[in-house]
Amino acid sequence: MTAIAIPPLTKDLVRVLIDADTIQRRVDELARKINKEYAGIEESLILVGVLKGSFIFLADLCRKLNVPHVVDFISLSSYGNSSKITGNVRLIMDTRENLENRHVLIVEDILDSGYTLDYLRRNFTARNPASLKTVVLLDKPERRKIDAELDYVGFQIPDVWVVGYGLDYAERYRTLPYIAEMVPVTD
Ligand code: XMP
Ligand code: MG
């Protein structure tokens, strides 16, 4: 097998915050916990990835699950046209699956203010799922505006903008295998 070159940091990126191996080890651990928790479920678990940021995390996570599951997606808009947090979350694209009486696991890239997850929890609870849990790769606890119930968390990180492993800045850097800190952006 040929080794895959790790893309170097560009001038926009301050440092690697979480390297690729550390991410993979943590995704392994999260998958093990999820496998244990849902072992023996009769109907498939529904993984609902929040687009777009979670797609790489979801792809890695679901391939490590040995419990029956289906993959679905939802798309939300949380910030409107600026990066200011408004708490104004809108549904852009709904799930294809009917969530009623199903075991649902929300897969999110990063928890910041908490508004997105709070919106999703309330929206999904109203659909009467059999159970509802969340797995979030990154958590910025310093930024929390609203209490968020988290079931599985990958890493707690400081209050900096991060990119890579699905996360972007203006659609760039999503495919980096590591998570990097960006130079502060002013808008
Ligand atoms: P809230 O504030 O609702 O936000 O918890 C969650 C959403 O905000 C985005 N977000 C980020 N995206 N790097 C990113 O690429 C970051 O550092 C970052 N912080 C927040 C993300 O879409 C997440 O779903
Ligand atoms: Mg997101």
Residue 159 annotated among the catalytic residues of the structure: no
Instruction: Write the pLDDT tens digit of every residue in 71-112.
Output: 999 999 876 554 555 678 999 999 999 999 999 999 999 999
113 CA: nearest ligand 1 atom: 2
Q: What are the extents of the domains in the chain?
A: 13-182
Q: What is the distance between the alpha carbons of residues 185 and 38, in angstroms, rounded to a whole number?
A: 41
Out of 163, 167, 175, 176, mutate this one to test ligand 1's pocket (max ligand atoms within 8 Å of CB): namely 167
Instruction: Write the pLDDT tens digit of every residue in 145-160.
Output: 998 889 999 999 999 9
Residue 3, pLDDT above cutoff 90: no
Mean pLDDT of 133-147: 94
- CATH T-level topology, domain 13-182: Rossmann fold (3.40.50)
* Average pLDDT in the chain: 92
53 CA: nearest ligand 1 atom: 22
* Contact (Cβ atoms closer than 8 angstroms) between residue 72 and residue 96: yes
* Contact (Cβ atoms closer than 8 angstroms) between residue 181 and residue 157: no
Q: What is the distance between the alpha carbons of residues 169 and 171, in angstroms, rounded to a whole number?
A: 5
Q: What percent of the chain has pLDDT over 90?
A: 80
Taking CA atoms only, the protein residue closest to ligand 1 atom 23 is 110
